[in-house]
């Protein structure tokens, strides 16, 4: 890892693991089936996530998978007012919005968002221009060229990590050329996006190659299909597999973790950081008392 990561009002050291908590403003999200679609439970979720150690709140208005069409107007309706309220209540939290559309990016940045999480790999090239104009951060993701909200079908790579590096570093360099602050750009291998389970496993195994680029690496592992297929577990039984993958990713140099389970992830990241020598034990009495 290189220089500090700067997002919104926050600066994170090169070895400081950062949790990004997922807050879905959708009625049909794969994990919680709309539990935070309404404002009150969504705001309660933000409060809990911040209390448990999340520094970033990632707000999404469209579920990643196939489903009912959501227009840009509807996506903005679900996210913009909520961004405004989160910014009012939590002035220091980093607000991220998971969108691929520049129109939505513009509206949420105007409302106070600090980071645009482009999970679909630059499918709308104007989104990076919006980030540059507002001085917002940008997540540059590998999605294998997939169209938004589609599932991969018999996708193949000669070398999946080579493709991930080519795409994400290319998107990151373009963003900086457009004027996005270099210290606010992250790269994401895009687990499950345009990939089968073996691709996502290989991306995890070779994550050190991404960290070696010097760009901060974000991973979105939480309860995903590659975890479920690896262990043959349904969505609600993937937490242990997710945490194991989180620990491996942390050891290999990822910095930001997009998650559902904040408290559990915090413990895993603190443990790995302490083993790696980047954090002191919270208490060290054994053999000394």
Q: Known catalytic residues?
A: 224, 258
Those residues whose C-beta lies under 8 Å from the C-beta of residue 18, and which sit 6 or more positions away, are 5, 12, 55, 56, 255, 256, 257
Cα end-to-end distance, the chain, whole Å = 37
Residue 245 near residue 252 (C-beta atoms within 8 A): no
| Nearest-angstrom CA–CA distance, 257 and 218 | 6
**DSSP code for 68:** S
Pairing state between β 256-259 and 218-220: parallel
CB-neighbour burial class of residue 67 (10 A; exposed 0-12, middle 13-18, buried 19+): middle
User: CB 275: neighbour CB atoms within 10 A?
Assistant: 12
Those residues whose C-beta lies under 8 Å from the C-beta of residue 143, and which sit 6 or more positions away, are 119, 120, 121, 123, 190, 193, 194
Q: Is 146 left (phi over 0), alpha (psi -120 to 50) or beta?
A: beta
């Amino acid at each position: 890892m290189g220089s500090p990561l700067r997002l919104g009002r926050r600066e994170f050291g090169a070895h400081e693991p950062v949790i990004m908590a997922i807050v879905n403003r959708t009625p049909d999200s794969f994990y919680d089936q709309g539990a935070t679609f309404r404002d009150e439970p969504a705001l309660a979720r933000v409060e809990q996530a911040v209390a448990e150690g999340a520094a970033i709140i990632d707000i999404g208005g469209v579920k990643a998978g196939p489903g009912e069409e959501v227009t840009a107007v509807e996506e903005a309706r679900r996210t913009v007012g909520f961004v405004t309220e989160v910014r009012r209540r939590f002035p220091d939290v980093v607000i991220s919005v998971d969108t691929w559309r520049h129109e939505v990016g513009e509206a949420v940045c105007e409302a106070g968002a600090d980071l645009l999480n482009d999970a679909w790999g630059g499918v709308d090239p104007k989104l990076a221009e919006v980030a540059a104009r507002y001085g917002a951060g940008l997540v540059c993701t590998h999605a294998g060229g997939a169209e938004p909200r589609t599932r991969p079908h018999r996708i193949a790579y000669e070398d999946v990590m080579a493709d991930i590096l080519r795409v994400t570093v290319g998107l990151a360099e373009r963003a900086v050329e457009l004027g996005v602050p270099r210290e606010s750009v992250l790269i994401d291998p895009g687990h499950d996006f345009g990939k089968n389970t073996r691709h996502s496993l290989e991306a995890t195994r070779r994550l050190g190659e991404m960290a070696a680029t010097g760009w901060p690496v974000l991973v979105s592992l939480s309860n995903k299909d590659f975890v479920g297929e690896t262990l043959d577990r349904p969505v609600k039984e993937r937490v242990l597999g997710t945490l194991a993958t989180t620990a491996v990713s942390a050891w290999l140099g990822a910095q930001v973790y997009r998650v559902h389970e904040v408290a559990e992830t915090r413990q895993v990241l603190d443990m790995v950081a302490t083993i790696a020598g980047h954090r002191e034990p919270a208490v060290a009495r054994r053999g000394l008392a």
